[in-house]
Amino acid sequence: MTIESKYQRIAFVASPVLEAQRALAQLSSDYGNREVDDADVVVALGGDGLMLRTLHERMRTGTPIYGMHRGTVGFLMNEYSRQGLIERLNAARETVINPLLMRATDAAGEVHVHHAINEVALFRQIYQAARLRILIDDQVRMPELISDGILVATPAGSTAYNYSAQGPIIPITANLLALTPINAFRPRRWRGALLASSAHITVEVLEDERRPVAAVADHNEVRYVTRVEVLTDKSISIRMLFDPGHSLEDRILSEQFGV
């Protein structure tokens, strides 16, 4: 490793799948493997699931994360190669994202706080559709939404579940959030809204005992919620590294043109 490298200390993390574990062994042999708390950069080997977990674990450290695809879905990952890693890291472009903060109040009155990099979603828990009231910055914007649920997506998460729910794709540099219904029944024609990233979104669950709802921030679930608040946490900046021409912004743009 040359002294000119910006990243003298590399930590590798990998998913448990065989392909990722083989890459971990090879790259650790080639470049060494520091402890993540003593690293200048963390290289994640796997799919988007591992990348999200790594981003969550390191979100408060400021350590940049560089992913290489050794899993199933790899939208957040760079292509894998054993050669030239130092040069790729030095040439990589940085994307900074802010996570969502979810405050979910359950039926017992307990408040659960979780962060989400992709989205915060509310789902009906039983056969009954959810009945929700939506407030933006403490103003009621939709007195009643009857649906399977609703989600709030970041630009980074706009191509994930949000896109499958017919939500808009948002450029990574846009200061916007997507508010997208999940199978809306009433109002049937409502397709959601684009909101400023500074918006304070509150979803109140109506008839919560008869129509129970769960809230999920990425992989953290809270059941039997009565009220969920969502806002962008500007106090946390997550640094992601991408190869030139393969940035998250490039891929989000490509998704909008179907390529």
What are the structural domain ranges in the chain? 10-97+236-256, 100-232
Compute the distance between CA of residue 25 and CA of residue 142 in angstroms, rounded to an integer. Answer: 53
At residue 252, the pLDDT reads 76
Q: Which of 40, 48, 106, 137 is catalytic?
A: 48
* Residue 135, strand partner residues: 140, 202
At 3 the pLDDT is: 45
Q: What is the CATH architecture assignment of 100-232? A: Sandwich (2.60)
> Is 80 annotated as contributing to ligand binding?
no
Q: How far is CA 14 from CA 26, 57, 78, 222, in A?
A: 12, 13, 14, 28
Mean pLDDT of successive 10-residue stretches along the chain, which has 259 residues: 73 96 97 96 95 95 96 85 95 94 98 98 97 98 98 94 94 93 94 97 98 97 98 96 82 71
The distance from CA 139 to its chain's CA centroid, rounded to whole angstroms, is 26
* Model pLDDT, residue 259: 54
Class of domain 10-97+236-256 as given by CATH:
alpha beta
Q: Is 32 labelled as part of a ligand binding site?
A: no
pLDDT at 211: 98
48 appears as a binding residue in the annotation: yes
- Predicted TM-score (pTM) of this structure: 0.89
Q: 208: annotated binding-site residue? A: no
3-class SS string, the chain: CCCCCCCCCEEEEECCCHHHHHHHHHHHHHHCCCCHHHCCEEEEEECHHHHHHHHHHHCCCCCCEEEEECCCCCCCCECCCCCCHHHHHHHCEEEEECCEEEEEEECCCCEEEEEECCEEEEEECCCCCEEEEEEECCEEEEEEEEECEEEEECCCCCCCHHHHCCCCCCCCCCCEEEEEEECCCECCCCCCEEEECCCCEEEEEECCCCCCEEEEECCEEECCEEEEEEEECCCCCEEEEECCCCCHHHHHHHHHCCC
pLDDT at 105: 98
Q: Is 164 part of any known ligand binding site?
A: yes
Does 106 qualify as catalytic in the annotation?
A: no
CA distance 234 to 32: 34
**What pLDDT does 138 receive?**
97
